[in-house]
Structure 1
Amino acid sequence: MTLSAAALGGLLAWRAGAFALTPWLLATLGLLFAHATNNLLNDYTDSRRGIDRNNYYRNQYGVHVLEDGLVSQRQFWGYLGFTGGVAIALGLWLVWLRSGLTLDLMLAGAFFVLFYTWPLKYYGLGEPAVLLVWGPLMVGGTYYVTAGHWSWDVCWLSVVFALGPTTVLFGKHTDKAPADLAKGVHTLPVLLGDKLSRQATRLMLAAQYLLCVLLVATGSFGWPLLLVLLALPKLRHLWAVFGRPKPAERPEGYPEAIWPLWFSAHAFRHTRPFSGLFLLGLVLDTLLR
């Protein structure tokens, strides 16, 4: 999803006739290493605070480098130092190349890398942070350093893309809300409760399509953007999934390797084709113009 966000920012710069390869490559690699750094910090923070211990929800669906003993503490810090160091070096290179808002964008990104897991995620601010990061910060920021100027049209379009990762995260936090509540992690789904969280996800899903229609209706983008409507069959299924609470036990036929992920897995099955159609529509619209 991070690579797609950077690709989207680069595509929009190309569309504007202002694509510069070197800044785009630096931004793309910087974002990937920053995301890797955030993932490592996420595991470290929750492990150190005792959240990811024993059979916590997080350990049931994925590998945890510390809790599973895959690296030593020394190796972990070396790994973190490498990914973080590369991200900072690439960011400073971009600041030197572009100046302007680049330093502000870099500092904003560093803030979310360092503080997403704690305290933002713990106090219901993690989900809004993801919407902001995968939208205006990643897509808008990549566009800025690539094209050399800011664009509010790009920011609005980036929200369509960012809603995809946000629905996946919202689904995951709804899946594990009981476990988070027991651990004192107050994500937004924990604060809203199960029913409101599922309704909020439905609202975000609908907003993706409505924003695309609005961007075409206002003339900001052409009809190819409406290719996202081909994902409506996936949306219909997902709409029904979010209309009911999560099953207490794994349903028959549901992949054992995916369980206990439920809402997040279904949301990802929608986000993947929607994002692909969205990017394809933008490419076609750019070529036609």
Structure 2
Amino acid sequence: MSSVQNQNVKTSLNEREGFQVWWRLLRPHTLTAAFVPVFVGTMLAAMEQSINFWLFAAMLLASILIQAATNMFNEYYDYKRGLDNENSVGIGGTIVRDGIRPNTVMALAISFFIIAGILGIYICAASSWWIAVIGLVSMLFGYLYTGGPLPIAYTPFGEITAGFFMGTIIIGISYYIQTEAISSEVIIVSVPVAIFVGSILLANNIRDRVGDAENGRNTLAILFGHKGAILFLTSLFAIAFIWTGVLVFLGILPLWSLITFFSVIKARKAIQGFIGKQQPLEMMPAMVATAQTNTIYGLLLGLSLLFHLYLPLG
């Protein structure tokens, strides 16, 4: 691609130079998928006892670092396998458009993992060393998402893997390190969050469906086709909101948790943004709206637990 064409792509994506290059490398729209589960798990713990702020902060930073490192591994290996090029939409683009050396991206990813590991030592010392085992497995799957001989991202299991580890597992750990216990209710409450986290990956794969198919991927979006994948995304959103409503009805979640339904607005925008669109650039707003659905839902869910703690409705 010529430098003029490259600049046109950067302009279309509103990509800027300087610090913005490194910020894009982190793929910030995905980082809320790391923040939300930690926040929700900690607020669930706060309903039962006072929380340790430093444990919360360490868990939050470690989770964000692992997510950012996973994004960097994604960029590195997609570049190495020839999946990303200057025309690719939605990636960080630091290698193919900004000229950052691939080895630099890999070194940063490993550094983030090391820092997360150090934070993990503190978390384990303050809670349980079993957390180290779970944390190492989570980091391994973060690497294997695009690394290794058979990347998870190339299979139909990317969404369920991301949802399980970035949703249920992180919520469970965040709750456990505060209470030193776990319950079936915590796992049940984690399900909608896991669904929304997985939906971010599904939305990404809907946008990249054609290019991914050409490069040997076999994601759910490819298996379902464009219309089928949109229908599946709609179904996931519906399940998550219905699940939440049932939990409120059963008293597992407080009445305050009904405020999470405000995120339906973004979910609807995400679905509408995919319908009738074929070009990746056209689907970028839908991808963003999907990530925002997770963010808004998770923040409102965590806040609803906090509201219930200080302003119970009954």
**TM-score of Structure 1 vs Structure 2, range by shorter chain:** 0.7 to 0.9
Task: Summarize the alignment of residues 64-79 of structure 1 with structure 2, pairs less than 5 Å apart.
Answer: 64-79=93-108
Task: Summarize the alignment of residues 139-150 of structure 1 with structure 2, pairs less than 5 Å apart.
Answer: 139-150=171-182
Does the CA contact (< 8 Å) of 2:195 and 2:240 recur in 1?
Answer: yes
Q: 1:114 to 1:230 in 2, by over 3 A?
A: closer
Structure 1 residue 262 displacement after superposition: 4.9
Structure 1 residue 260 displacement after superposition: 4.5
Query: Is residue 123 of structure 2 the alignment partner of residue 94 of structure 1?
Result: yes
Q: Counterpart of 1:253? A: none
Q: Counterpart of 2:304? A: 281
| In structure 2, distance between residues paired with 1:280 and 1:96 | 29
Amino acid at match of 2:311: L
Aligned residues: 277
| In structure 1, distance between residues paired with 2:102 and 2:286 | 33
Query: Which SS does the other structure have where 1:117 is aligned?
Result: coil
Unmatched 5+ stretches in structure 1? 251-257
Amino acid at match of 1:288: L
| In structure 2, distance between residues paired with 1:268 and 1:99 | 32
- Structure 1's consecutive aligned runs of 4 or more residues displaced over 4 angstroms after TM superposition are 233-242
| In structure 1, distance between residues paired with 2:111 and 2:279 | 41
Q: 1:194 to 1:82 in 2, by over 3 A?
A: same
| In structure 2, distance between residues paired with 1:14 and 1:142 | 11
Task: Summarize the alignment of residues 1-289 of structure 1 with structure 2, pairs less than 5 Å apart.
Answer: 1=32, 2-55=34-87, 59-99=88-128, 101-118=130-147, 119-241=151-273, 244=275, 246-248=276-278, 259-289=282-312
Query: Which SS does the other structure have where 1:61 is aligned?
Result: coil
Does the CA contact (< 8 Å) of 1:221 and 1:285 recur in 2?
Answer: no
Structure 1 residue 161 displacement after superposition: 1.9
Does the CA contact (< 8 Å) of 1:125 and 1:187 recur in 2?
Answer: yes
Q: 1:216 to 1:184 in 2, by over 3 A?
A: same
Does the CA contact (< 8 Å) of 1:228 and 1:277 recur in 2?
Answer: yes
Unmatched 5+ stretches in structure 2? 1-31
Q: 1:226 to 1:196 in 2, by over 3 A?
A: same
Does the CA contact (< 8 Å) of 1:10 and 1:142 recur in 2?
Answer: yes
Q: 1:61 to 1:76 in 2, by over 3 A?
A: closer
Structure 1 residue 234 displacement after superposition: 4.3
Please give the root-mean-square deviation of Cα atoms over the aligned residues, in Å.
2.4
Summarize deviations over 1:56-94 as a string: whole Å, max 9, x none: xxx323432222344334533442332121011112332
Q: 1:78 to 1:188 in 2, by over 3 A?
A: same
Q: 1:162 to 1:94 in 2, by over 3 A?
A: same
Q: 1:190 to 1:215 in 2, by over 3 A?
A: same
| In structure 2, distance between residues paired with 1:233 and 1:76 | 36
Q: 1:110 to 1:170 in 2, by over 3 A?
A: same
Given the two structures, how large is their TM-score scaled by the length of structure 2? Answer: 0.79
Structure 1 residue 240 displacement after superposition: 4.7
